Amino acid sequence: MSEATRVHWDTRHRVHDDLASGGHTGLDRAGNEIFYAVRLGALLPLIGDVSDGAAPLFVLDAGCGKGHFARALARCGHRVDAFDVSEEAVAHARARGGGPRWAVASLDEWRSPWPYDVVLCVDVLFHLLDDAEWAAGLRNLASLVRLTGRLILTDEDPGTRRPRGEHILHRPAAEYTGLLAPLGLRHTLFTPYGFRENEVGFHVFTRTR
């Protein structure tokens, strides 16, 4: 990752509040509350409604920002690891606590002694403009999913690549599938966020081998 990108995220996390910095900088506080609530509502059914204190789901939130989703999943009884490349974001998440184990790392760096039931990556991959960085991050996330576990990531599903502004490149599902299928992850679902005109949604990939 370039130093400029790192500075971009640290600055965004320093300047904006806990929701706008990882949510939508163009929305006011109330809009971001709804944006997060709608997405959490769409996400929970993808993870399932089982919560067993004796055998929690192991969940990884990759690119967790200030930790909104990670904390919510910890409250749902899951055992959550969460990391982000922005030290600023992780310092904020750590100060707030809430259950997850927090760390600073990039998508291609995170290592774990255990595989996860669910690897979650919300609104991060379409910010990776560099294809090699995108592929290395995605490959690493795939390697962290246990057999029958799920990789849940977000992007639009455009017919062709769709750049938006300076910091976004939406890639078609075929690009994700092309990389993940040979690694044993099958594309099982796409659920749009269903938030206003936003065309991003959750892609679910399930490890079948």
Ligand X SMILES: C[S@@+](CC[C@H](N)C(=O)[O-])C[C@H]1O[C@@H](n2cnc3c(N)ncnc32)[C@H](O)[C@@H]1O
201 binds ligand X (CB under 6 A): no
Position 73, amino acid: L
65 binds ligand X (CB under 6 A): yes
For residues 176 and 156, the answer to whether their CB atoms sit within 8 Å is no
DSSP the chain: --HHHHHHHHHHHHHS-TTTTTS-TTS-HHHHHHHHHHHHHHHHHHH-S---TTSPPEEEEET-TT-HHHHHHHHTT-EEEEEES-HHHHHHHHHH-SSPEEEE--TTT---SS-EEEEEE-S-GGG---HHHHHHHHHHHHHTEEEEEEEEEEE---SS-EEETTTEEE--HHHHHHHHGGGTEEEEEEEE--STT---EEEEEEE--
100 binds ligand X (CB under 6 A): no
Choose the stretch contacting ligand X; rule: CB under 6 A; options: 41-49, 62-70, 183-191, 196-204: 62-70
The residue within the footprint of ligand X, chosen from 72, 80, 85, 151 (CB under 6 A), is: 85
Choose the stretch contacting ligand X; rule: CB under 6 A; options: 116-124, 180-188, 189-197, 201-209: 116-124
Choose the stretch contacting ligand X; rule: CB under 6 A; options: 41-49, 119-127, 138-146, 177-185: 119-127
124 binds ligand X (CB under 6 A): yes
123 binds ligand X (CB under 6 A): yes
82 binds ligand X (CB under 6 A): no
168 binds ligand X (CB under 6 A): no
122 binds ligand X (CB under 6 A): yes
Which positions from 20 through 59 interact with ligand X, judged by CB under 6 A? 22
Q: How far is the CB of 113 from ligand X (least distance, A)?
A: 20
149 binds ligand X (CB under 6 A): no
Q: How far is the CB of 72 from ligand X (least distance, A)?
A: 10
